[in-house]
Protein backbone atom coordinates (compact mmCIF):
# COMPACT_ATOMS: atom_id res chain seq x y z
CA UNK A 1 0.00 0.00 0.00
CA UNK A 2 1.44 3.36 -0.99
CA UNK A 3 2.01 6.18 1.50
CA UNK A 4 -0.58 8.32 -0.29
CA UNK A 5 -3.16 5.54 -0.03
CA UNK A 6 -2.46 5.17 3.70
CA UNK A 7 -2.90 8.92 4.30
CA UNK A 8 -6.14 8.98 2.30
CA UNK A 9 -7.41 5.97 4.27
CA UNK A 10 -6.64 7.69 7.60
CA UNK A 11 -8.35 10.89 6.47
CA UNK A 12 -11.36 8.92 5.26
CA UNK A 13 -11.66 7.22 8.67
CA UNK A 14 -10.98 10.38 10.67
CA UNK A 15 -13.25 12.80 8.76
CA UNK A 16 -17.01 12.21 8.52
CA UNK A 17 -18.89 13.01 5.31
CA UNK A 18 -19.68 16.63 4.60
CA UNK A 19 -23.06 17.54 6.02
CA UNK A 20 -24.85 19.33 3.20
CA UNK A 21 -27.99 19.98 5.21
CA UNK A 22 -25.99 21.44 8.09
CA UNK A 23 -24.08 23.62 5.66
CA UNK A 24 -27.30 25.01 4.22
CA UNK A 25 -28.70 25.72 7.68
CA UNK A 26 -25.46 27.35 8.78
CA UNK A 27 -25.36 29.47 5.63
CA UNK A 28 -28.85 30.82 6.33
CA UNK A 29 -28.15 31.39 10.03
CA UNK A 30 -24.63 32.84 9.90
CA UNK A 31 -24.20 34.65 6.61
CA UNK A 32 -26.59 37.50 7.23
CA UNK A 33 -24.46 40.35 5.96
CA UNK A 34 -25.11 39.85 2.23
CA UNK A 35 -21.38 39.85 1.61
CA UNK A 36 -21.55 37.47 -1.32
CA UNK A 37 -19.39 34.75 0.23
CA UNK A 38 -19.90 31.35 -1.36
CA UNK A 39 -21.13 28.44 0.79
CA UNK A 40 -18.23 27.16 2.88
CA UNK A 41 -16.12 24.13 2.20
CA UNK A 42 -15.58 22.43 5.54
CA UNK A 43 -14.03 19.38 7.15
CA UNK A 44 -14.63 18.19 10.71
CA UNK A 45 -12.53 15.88 12.86
CA UNK A 46 -13.57 12.28 13.42
CA UNK A 47 -13.00 9.52 15.95
CA UNK A 48 -9.28 10.14 16.42
CA UNK A 49 -9.63 13.82 17.34
CA UNK A 50 -12.86 13.25 19.25
CA UNK A 51 -15.17 15.84 20.76
CA UNK A 52 -14.99 18.31 23.62
CA UNK A 53 -17.55 18.98 26.34
CA UNK A 54 -19.50 22.17 26.78
CA UNK A 55 -17.84 24.67 29.13
CA UNK A 56 -14.64 22.61 29.09
CA UNK A 57 -11.07 23.93 29.01
CA UNK A 58 -10.93 23.11 25.30
CA UNK A 59 -14.00 25.25 24.60
CA UNK A 60 -12.51 28.12 26.61
CA UNK A 61 -9.30 27.88 24.57
CA UNK A 62 -11.32 27.79 21.35
CA UNK A 63 -13.23 30.92 22.34
CA UNK A 64 -9.93 32.67 23.03
CA UNK A 65 -8.66 31.67 19.58
CA UNK A 66 -11.87 32.82 17.87
CA UNK A 67 -11.62 36.20 19.62
CA UNK A 68 -7.89 36.69 19.01
CA UNK A 69 -7.14 35.34 15.55
CA UNK A 70 -9.33 37.71 13.45
CA UNK A 71 -7.55 40.78 14.83
CA UNK A 72 -4.14 39.17 14.35
CA UNK A 73 -4.77 38.28 10.72
CA UNK A 74 -6.33 41.71 10.05
CA UNK A 75 -3.22 43.44 11.42
CA UNK A 76 -1.11 41.39 9.02
CA UNK A 77 -2.98 42.63 5.93
CA UNK A 78 -3.15 46.04 4.26
CA UNK A 79 -5.31 47.77 1.59
CA UNK A 80 -2.63 47.10 -1.03
CA UNK A 81 -2.00 43.50 0.02
CA UNK A 82 -4.84 41.67 1.72
CA UNK A 83 -3.00 38.35 1.92
CA UNK A 84 -2.23 37.41 5.50
CA UNK A 85 -1.52 34.18 7.34
CA UNK A 86 -1.12 33.68 11.09
CA UNK A 87 -1.04 30.74 13.47
CA UNK A 88 -1.27 30.51 17.26
CA UNK A 89 -1.29 28.03 20.13
CA UNK A 90 -3.80 28.43 22.96
CA UNK A 91 -4.02 26.72 26.34
CA UNK A 92 -2.02 23.87 27.80
CA UNK A 93 -2.03 20.14 27.32
CA UNK A 94 -4.12 18.04 27.13
CA UNK A 95 -6.48 20.75 25.77
CA UNK A 96 -3.99 22.81 23.78
CA UNK A 97 -5.27 24.11 20.45
CA UNK A 98 -3.30 24.92 17.32
CA UNK A 99 -5.17 27.33 15.04
CA UNK A 100 -4.36 29.15 11.82
CA UNK A 101 -6.06 31.67 9.54
CA UNK A 102 -5.34 32.74 5.98
CA UNK A 103 -6.78 35.52 3.82
CA UNK A 104 -6.54 35.72 0.03
CA UNK A 105 -5.35 38.81 -1.84
CA UNK A 106 -8.42 39.86 -3.82
CA UNK A 107 -9.92 43.19 -4.85
CA UNK A 108 -13.50 41.91 -4.67
CA UNK A 109 -15.66 43.87 -2.17
CA UNK A 110 -16.64 40.70 -0.35
CA UNK A 111 -12.95 40.04 0.37
CA UNK A 112 -12.12 43.51 1.67
CA UNK A 113 -12.22 42.78 5.42
CA UNK A 114 -9.86 39.94 6.31
CA UNK A 115 -10.63 39.99 10.03
CA UNK A 116 -14.39 39.89 9.49
CA UNK A 117 -14.02 36.98 7.07
CA UNK A 118 -11.96 35.00 9.59
CA UNK A 119 -14.48 35.73 12.37
CA UNK A 120 -17.28 34.49 10.11
CA UNK A 121 -15.30 31.35 9.27
CA UNK A 122 -14.97 30.58 12.98
CA UNK A 123 -18.74 30.95 13.39
CA UNK A 124 -19.25 28.54 10.50
CA UNK A 125 -16.82 26.09 12.12
CA UNK A 126 -18.86 26.03 15.33
CA UNK A 127 -22.13 25.67 13.39
CA UNK A 128 -20.92 22.97 11.04
CA UNK A 129 -18.59 20.97 13.29
CA UNK A 130 -20.20 21.53 16.68
CA UNK A 131 -18.02 20.13 19.47
CA UNK A 132 -15.46 18.46 17.21
CA UNK A 133 -11.87 19.06 18.32
CA UNK A 134 -10.80 19.64 14.72
CA UNK A 135 -12.36 21.78 12.03
CA UNK A 136 -11.45 23.50 8.77
CA UNK A 137 -13.62 26.05 6.97
CA UNK A 138 -12.80 27.66 3.61
CA UNK A 139 -14.91 30.64 2.55
CA UNK A 140 -12.86 31.41 -0.54
CA UNK A 141 -11.85 34.82 0.79
CA UNK A 142 -10.32 33.26 3.88
CA UNK A 143 -9.65 29.94 5.52
CA UNK A 144 -9.42 28.89 9.18
CA UNK A 145 -8.54 25.64 10.86
CA UNK A 146 -7.90 24.33 14.35
CA UNK A 147 -7.09 21.01 16.01
CA UNK A 148 -6.16 19.39 19.31
CA UNK A 149 -2.34 19.41 19.46
CA UNK A 150 -1.89 16.30 21.60
CA UNK A 151 -4.38 14.18 19.68
CA UNK A 152 -2.95 15.29 16.36
CA UNK A 153 0.49 14.15 17.52
CA UNK A 154 -0.96 10.73 18.41
CA UNK A 155 -2.63 10.56 15.00
CA UNK A 156 0.64 11.37 13.24
CA UNK A 157 2.50 8.72 15.25
CA UNK A 158 -0.12 6.17 14.23
CA UNK A 159 0.24 7.13 10.56
CA UNK A 160 4.03 6.94 10.88
CA UNK A 161 3.80 3.46 12.41
CA UNK A 162 1.54 2.25 9.59
CA UNK A 163 3.88 3.79 7.04
CA UNK A 164 6.90 2.12 8.67
CA UNK A 165 5.15 -1.26 8.69
CA UNK A 166 4.07 -0.84 5.09
CA UNK A 167 7.59 0.14 4.00
CA UNK A 168 9.07 -2.81 5.89
CA UNK A 169 6.70 -5.26 4.21
CA UNK A 170 7.40 -3.66 0.82
CA UNK A 171 11.13 -4.28 1.32
CA UNK A 172 10.43 -7.85 2.41
CA UNK A 173 8.18 -8.40 -0.61
CA UNK A 174 10.70 -7.06 -3.12
CA UNK A 175 13.97 -8.40 -1.74
CA UNK A 176 13.35 -11.09 0.89
CA UNK A 177 10.23 -12.88 -0.31
CA UNK A 178 11.90 -14.67 -3.26
CA UNK A 179 14.66 -15.83 -0.93
CA UNK A 180 12.06 -17.00 1.59
CA UNK A 181 10.42 -19.09 -1.14
CA UNK A 182 13.77 -20.60 -2.13
CA UNK A 183 14.52 -21.51 1.48
CA UNK A 184 11.09 -23.13 1.85
CA UNK A 185 11.57 -25.13 -1.36
CA UNK A 186 15.02 -26.30 -0.26
CA UNK A 187 13.63 -27.27 3.15
CA UNK A 188 10.81 -29.28 1.60
CA UNK A 189 13.27 -30.95 -0.78
CA UNK A 190 15.47 -31.97 2.16
CA UNK A 191 12.48 -33.43 4.00
CA UNK A 192 11.41 -35.38 0.91
CA UNK A 193 14.96 -36.63 0.35
CA UNK A 194 15.21 -37.88 3.95
CA UNK A 195 11.77 -39.51 3.69
CA UNK A 196 12.64 -41.28 0.43
CA UNK A 197 15.99 -42.38 1.84
CA UNK A 198 14.32 -43.86 4.92
CA UNK A 199 11.67 -45.51 2.76
CA UNK A 200 14.33 -47.07 0.47
CA UNK A 201 16.38 -48.31 3.44
CA UNK A 202 13.24 -49.88 4.92
CA UNK A 203 12.49 -51.72 1.69
CA UNK A 204 16.03 -53.04 1.47
CA UNK A 205 15.92 -54.28 5.06
CA UNK A 206 12.62 -56.07 4.45
CA UNK A 207 13.96 -57.61 1.24
CA UNK A 208 17.05 -58.89 3.03
CA UNK A 209 14.89 -60.28 5.83
CA UNK A 210 12.74 -62.17 3.31
CA UNK A 211 15.82 -63.77 1.72
CA UNK A 212 17.03 -65.20 5.00
CA UNK A 213 16.45 -69.02 5.37
As averages over each run of 10 residues, the pLDDT of the chain (213 residues) reads 44 40 42 55 87 96 95 74 83 95 69 85 95 94 94 83 60 46 49 64 72 65
Of the candidates 82, 66, 170, the one whose C-alpha atom is nearest the C-alpha of residue 118 is 66
Among residues 127, 71, 69, 125, the alpha carbon closest in space to that of 98 is found at 69
Q: For the whole prediction, is pTM greater than 0.85? A: no
Residues 6+ apart with CB under 8 A from 203: none
Beta-bridged to residue 97, according to DSSP, are 90, 148
CA nearest 44: which of 159, 146, 150?
146
Question: Dihedral, CA atoms, 158, 99, 147, 127, nearest 10 degrees?
Answer: -150
* Burial group, residue 67, by CB count within 10 angstroms (0-12, 13-18, 19+): exposed
d(CA 77, CA 66): 18
Alpha-carbon distance of 151 to 153, in angstroms, equals: 5
Question: What domains appear along the chain, each with residue ranges and CATH number?
Answer: 3-156 (3.30.430.20)
CA-based nearest residue to 61, from 148, 151, 155, 152: 148
Cα 138 to Cα 91, 163, 164: the distances in Å are 24, 29, 33
Q: How far apart are CA 112 and CA 105, in angstroms?
A: 9
Cis peptide before 98 (omega within 30 of 0): no
CA distances to 114, 148, 180 from 8, in Å = 31, 20, 32
Amino acid sequence: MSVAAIILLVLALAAPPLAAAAAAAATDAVDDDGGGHRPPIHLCGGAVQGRFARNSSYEANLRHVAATLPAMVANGSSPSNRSSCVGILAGGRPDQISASAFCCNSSAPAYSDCGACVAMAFRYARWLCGYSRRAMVDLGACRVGYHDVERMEREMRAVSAVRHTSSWWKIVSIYDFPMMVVVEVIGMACVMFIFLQEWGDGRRRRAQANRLP
